[in-house]
Chain A
């Protein structure tokens, strides 16, 4: 019994080794880092799906440079040390020409020195921390890019919208102490909000993952008479916060959130979602995105409820395709050069021009308003 078990294990290991080494046809290989397990699995799985969709579409059109495109997806179970070895493997074993992902700034910052040493371009999907594309001395990392806007910019957008468009000057913020994304947004929001003349009446934290009950903080926010509540968090937490706030009878406060918005929040928060505003990269109603949603639905029989991750992963792939085409050769260094020269590229969700720090230049902020059971396009903003 014991020995059979061991034999089976050994066999499985050998098979896996073999499977990994056997594939080496003439294709253009693109790597994708996605959190398929762990806390971000919902987002990572959607990204992996949309990336696969993008690859199938490009292959149906004849691929790139006359070759088929092959996608290599690796999980990093939300851990940086695992992601680092995934990148090494992508670079050395799979010999990819570019990497798309990961969906988390911490992971991108940890893999950045590595991709820059290998000279393989990496495009972060929703990695909004400034340090993803520049090092701590402010020098640009030549092989690191992102398709989303950055924390300082998003923080400014939220502040601008709350103070100037909504004219709400007494803000409370409820952020996730354990999340770099949330902390970053909070920092930059508070800075810009002050500049627009707003006043912070409450600045409270919680711990994502474990905390699911926010009534203590909400009670305090209610007592401090805040008129707008800023939510720089992930979808699940924001939905719970809104639901619990309405349960506590906070009917007048307006919720303004960041790009963590996802359609599944409606299932959780229900009516509490109504009339909340979300600063985002993309609107699900955008007619340009309709074909994407249709083909996603056809392939996976699913609504792509984590659409922000999904679309940014999808367009991250198209950004890479475009750079490969312009490079004219499957050479990572040329592709990185082509990427940094990206100008007025029409992707599905936006037009991308990279600035000197490899951040998309002045992307419009899309405001989504939650109304009648789904997110609707409200306005585009571009603060001066």
Chain B
């Protein structure tokens, strides 16, 4: 396999891991975030500092990076997740930017905007594929477990869910913490891929990219998220020869998918027998079908 394909696949794995985290939060728990790149930053910096300054092996360091992102998310999440809907989304912009600004100003630890060089290039094809496989396996099990159903109930009707005895506040925080872990690991892998990190890499543009991947793939569909991550990563790669138009196309694709199919590519379906049944039904009686959004 050529190194170029390898590079694309590694980046794809990194993007997909972060997207799965955001998908759990946005797609399954119904909390919309515009600041998740900050958790990637926390993971990336923690891992970088651990491996470079303390000589920790990269695998525990990556996991610790994820754990650090979880801790930050917990501290942030407990007070702020009381906010609902748009208001949390807006707060998350502020939170994400604040974390990034702290990293930029904490020069003794992070070396500020000049970036953190000399990270070992530990993110090889197999490492990234390995992490992706394990984390995807974990995620698919999670969403089909008791927790997954609890998350979905928080999304669909949190008042009814709390009447049924779910501690919705706790599930919301749990969902944020888990998604922060995924983003933290993804950030740590990105650090190993580039062997150099700068706070500016984790700005609001990166955050919105993550969220748009999830919406693009389908809110409430993990396989949709993976397809979304693949499509967005590949589209930006494929259109490289027409450099200037790339971002225009990216923006236009986002608008078009929202206009034509706002529920995303997969809607709430997973790639499986049910999805194909739905597809078949759709094509046989297209007109009578309502715009598919099972509740």
Direct contact of A and B (CB under 8 A): yes
Q: A: which residues have CB within 8 A of B?
A: 1-2, 5, 9, 13, 16-17, 19-20, 36-38, 73-75, 77, 79-82, 84-86, 88-89, 91-93, 106, 109-110, 113, 118, 129, 131, 135-137, 176-180, 182-184, 207
Given contacts A110-B194, A183-B112, A183-B113, 5 further A-B contacts (CB under 8 A): A1-B260, A88-B8, A89-B240, A92-B3, A184-B114
B51-109 interface with A by 8 A CB criterion:
101, 104-105
User: Is B260 within 8 A of A5, CB to CB?
Assistant: yes
How many residues of chain B get a CB closer than 8 Å to chain A's CBs?
Answer: 42
User: Is B3 within 8 A of A109, CB to CB?
Assistant: no
Contact of B3 among A77, A82, A88 (CB under 8 A): A88
User: Is B243 within 8 A of A81, CB to CB?
Assistant: no
Q: Looking at the complex, which of B171-179, B210-218, B230-238 is the stretch in contact with chain A?
A: B230-238
User: Is A16 within 8 A of B239, CB to CB?
Assistant: yes
For the complex, what is the distance from the CA of A311 to the CA of B114, rounded to whole Å?
25
Instruction: Decide yes or no whether B163 CB sits under 8 A from chain A.
Output: no
Residues of chain A within 8 A (CB-CB) of B117 are: 109, 131, 135-136
Instruction: Decide yes or no whether B247 CB sits under 8 A from chain A.
Output: yes
For the complex, what is the distance from the CA of A12 to the CA of B239, rounded to whole Å?
9
Contact of B238 among A2, A13, A106, A183 (CB under 8 A): A13
Contact of B246 among A37, A88, A91, A183 (CB under 8 A): A37
Contact of B4 among A37, A82, A92, A180 (CB under 8 A): A92
Residues of chain A within 8 A (CB-CB) of B105 are: 177
The 10 closest A-B pairs by CB, nearest first: A75-B243, A136-B118, A92-B4, A88-B7, A180-B114, A88-B4, A110-B196, A110-B194, A37-B247, A92-B2
Q: Which of B7, B104, B237 has the most CB of A within 10 A?
A: B7
Show 21 A/B contacts (Cβ-Cβ < 8 Å), sorted by A. Answer: A1-B260, A37-B244, A37-B246, A75-B240, A77-B247, A80-B194, A80-B196, A88-B4, A93-B4, A106-B196, A106-B200, A109-B196, A110-B195, A110-B196, A177-B112, A178-B113, A179-B113, A180-B198, A183-B112, A183-B113, A207-B101
B229-266 interface with A by 8 A CB criterion:
235-244, 246-247, 253, 256, 260-261
B253-289 interface with A by 8 A CB criterion:
253, 256, 260-261
Instruction: Decide yes or no whether B150 CB sits under 8 A from chain A.
Output: no
User: Is B190 within 8 A of A16, CB to CB?
Assistant: no
Instruction: Decide yes or no whether B201 CB sits under 8 A from chain A.
Output: yes
User: Is B238 within 8 A of A75, CB to CB?
Assistant: no
Question: Closest residue of chain B to A135, judged by CB?
Answer: B118
Closest-CB distance, B8 to chain A (whole angstroms): 6
Closest-CB distance, A204 to chain B (whole angstroms): 13
User: Is A13 within 8 A of B235, CB to CB?
Assistant: yes
User: Is A79 within 8 A of B114, CB to CB?
Assistant: no
For the complex, what is the distance from the CA of A2 to the CA of B259, rounded to whole Å?
10
